[in-house]
Structure 1
Amino acid sequence: MKGYMIKYPGRKWLKHVALSGEEELRDYLPDTEPFTPKGFVSMIDRYPVLFVKPDLGMKGQGVMKIYYKDGRIVIRTEDGRFSFQSAKFAALKLKQLIGTKRYIMQQGIDLVQIDGNPIDFRILLHLRKDATWKYFGVMGKVAAPNKYVTNHSSGGRAIRLHHALGITTQECEPWEKKLKEMALKIARGMKKHFPLISELGLDIAIDNEHRVWLLEANTRPQFQLFRHHSNPRLYAQIASSVKHIRADD
């Protein structure tokens, strides 16, 4: 497949299609489709929870959560809730909320939680001069109470991996190894399809059965989360690397 000559590919659907073409990555990808009312009716029949997201969007803005409650379908937005008797009526409401913008639908993942607040994770990688990827590490993000997105702008806070999983730092070492191996596979897959990229922030989910999922691959990622990493020098190293990588932009 010919690569996309885009330095900062933003469209979630484009990246999903590229990675789903890689056999070793498919098991990491939640079921994802472009939003259509007909497609939504079919998808909400397959999954108890869906997330409907802007195809182009950042910081969790515009993300909607759709789920079943008391036999009805609930659409939850950043500032409201809507409840419907049928998927067809819910689909029409979603179409109204979305308008002419492009959105995707993604299978909801039953995330690990702390005190009922969902957690996801950010892994950071930069391309070295020798064209190999440097793995900087992983940090968790806990959603604020009664929120379903974990972004800092929505009240989310940083958490270290072992705290998120409720294990010791020593017990966490196999997890660190597993996530690093996964991240490097994804980075190589992304580089194959988007040859101009040089940095990645992978948004990762771990579900209650400890299966790992890729929610999104960001190609110009925020990295402030790593201020809270256990290595006090890591943030400065990342900031220096970012400055060098983006100097030519």
Structure 2
Amino acid sequence: MKYKSSTIKSKWTKTQWLLKDSYIKKYIPITLPFNKKNLSSMLADHTTVFFKPTNGSGGNNIIRISKTAGGYQTQLNTTKRSYSTTTQLYRDLNRFAGTRPYLLQKGIRLAKSNGKPFDVRVMVQKTKQGTWTSTALFTKVGNPKKVATNYNQGGTIGTFHNTMNGAKFSSAFTPQLESDLKRLGVAVGKNFDRNYKGFKELGLDVAIDSKGKAWILEVNTRPQIYPLKALKDKSIYKKILSYGKQYGRYK
């Protein structure tokens, strides 16, 4: 059986869908299409801004822009560059983007687990009855030297509770966050269904900031799960596949 679940590449399209929902809207960091005016206003309001390809995946080609005493610093993978003016910065980013559309997103200061930044993947899948359920939560623990936490950017996969145990939140916070994120996953599934047909699974990338607030960084319509095979406990992987078989996901 062939994989049957709709895919939408454009992060901007997906962001606009989510912003239409008052419950979900609170979880969306400010996101705007890349142009000179938006770059200036984002940098006026935020100390860190991410420059992301609208149709990218895997954490590739994401540039972090930070304000410094002398202007701005960009980081792509581990390469850093400095700029004294927004004009210079815009020119370089525009050249890097070429003809590809890019987005600007407010930077979230990720909570850390044992000193390493992490975000949470919420896996949401349809049951045979066609209702959404949040089937799994796991974490992507980043390499502190890199911009993205993705597995193919040198990050590691962790279990939700282990990672949260390494973060400095109260013990009551973790179960509360878990139920909030599961509810959010189902709400996003329903939101996507209102905008387009044929979704069977989604993967929410959720940042937890240092104060414990959750932010949806992105919703993946073709979420990769093969990195879960690296976990000693294969139950999360098996659970996702047990739901996935009905729409042709076998790995």
TM-score (norm 1): 0.89
Question: What is the deviation of 1:96?
Answer: 1.1
Work out whether residues 67 and 73 of structure 1, in 8 Å CA contact, stay in contact via their aligned partners in 2. yes
Question: Is residue 99 from structure 1 mapped to residue 59 from structure 2 by the alignment?
Answer: no
Change in 2 beyond 3 A, CA 1:169/1:138? farther
Work out whether residues 123 and 202 of structure 1, in 8 Å CA contact, stay in contact via their aligned partners in 2. yes
> 137-146 vs 157-166, which deviates more?
157-166
C-alpha distance in 1 between matches for 2:74 and 2:28 = 23
Question: What is the deviation of 1:29?
Answer: 0.4
Question: What is the deviation of 1:171?
Answer: 6.0
Q: Secondary structure, in 3 states, of the residue corresponding to 1:8?
A: coil
Question: What is the deviation of 1:11?
Answer: 0.5
- For 1:237, the equivalent position in structure 2 comes to 239
Question: Is residue 214 from structure 1 mapped to residue 213 from structure 2 by the alignment?
Answer: no
- For 1:58, the equivalent position in structure 2 comes to 57
- For 2:177, the equivalent position in structure 1 comes to 175
- For 2:187, the equivalent position in structure 1 comes to 185
Change in 2 beyond 3 A, CA 1:115/1:68? farther
C-alpha distance in 1 between matches for 2:233 and 2:154 = 24
1:194-230 deviations in Å (ceiling 9; x for gaps): 2221110110010011111111111111113444668
Q: Secondary structure, in 3 states, of the residue corresponding to 1:201?
A: strand
Work out whether residues 162 and 169 of structure 1, in 8 Å CA contact, stay in contact via their aligned partners in 2. no
> 134-143 vs 100-109, which deviates more?
134-143
C-alpha distance in 1 between matches for 2:47 and 2:190 = 32
Work out whether residues 139 and 225 of structure 1, in 8 Å CA contact, stay in contact via their aligned partners in 2. no
Q: Secondary structure, in 3 states, of the residue corresponding to 1:100?
A: coil
> 232-241 vs 89-98, which deviates more?
232-241
Change in 2 beyond 3 A, CA 1:129/1:98? same
1:28-47 deviations in Å (ceiling 9; x for gaps): 10100111122111111111
Alignment of 1:115-130 (within 5 A): 115-130=114-129
- For 2:36, the equivalent position in structure 1 comes to 37
C-alpha distance in 1 between matches for 2:157 and 2:221 = 21
- For 2:137, the equivalent position in structure 1 comes to 138
Work out whether residues 136 and 236 of structure 2, in 8 Å CA contact, stay in contact via their aligned partners in 1. no
Q: Secondary structure, in 3 states, of the residue corresponding to 2:202?
A: strand
Question: What is the deviation of 1:105?
Answer: 0.6
C-alpha distance in 1 between matches for 2:191 and 2:81 = 39
C-alpha distance in 2 between matches for 1:43 and 1:70 = 17
C-alpha distance in 1 between matches for 2:234 and 2:60 = 30
Structure 2: gaps of 5 or more residues = none
Q: What percentage of aligned pairs have identical amino acids?
A: 28
Structure 1: gaps of 5 or more residues = 1-5
How many residues align structurally?
A: 242
C-alpha distance in 2 between matches for 1:182 and 1:79 = 33
- For 2:6, the equivalent position in structure 1 comes to 7
1:143-200 deviations in Å (ceiling 9; x for gaps): 1131121111111001222333336887632222121111111111112112221110
Change in 2 beyond 3 A, CA 1:228/1:104? same
Q: Secondary structure, in 3 states, of the residue corresponding to 1:28?
A: coil
C-alpha distance in 2 between matches for 1:171 and 1:115 = 17
C-alpha distance in 2 between matches for 1:225 and 1:204 = 17
Work out whether residues 30 and 213 of structure 1, in 8 Å CA contact, stay in contact via their aligned partners in 2. yes
TM-score (norm 2): 0.89
Q: Secondary structure, in 3 states, of the residue corresponding to 2:128?
A: coil
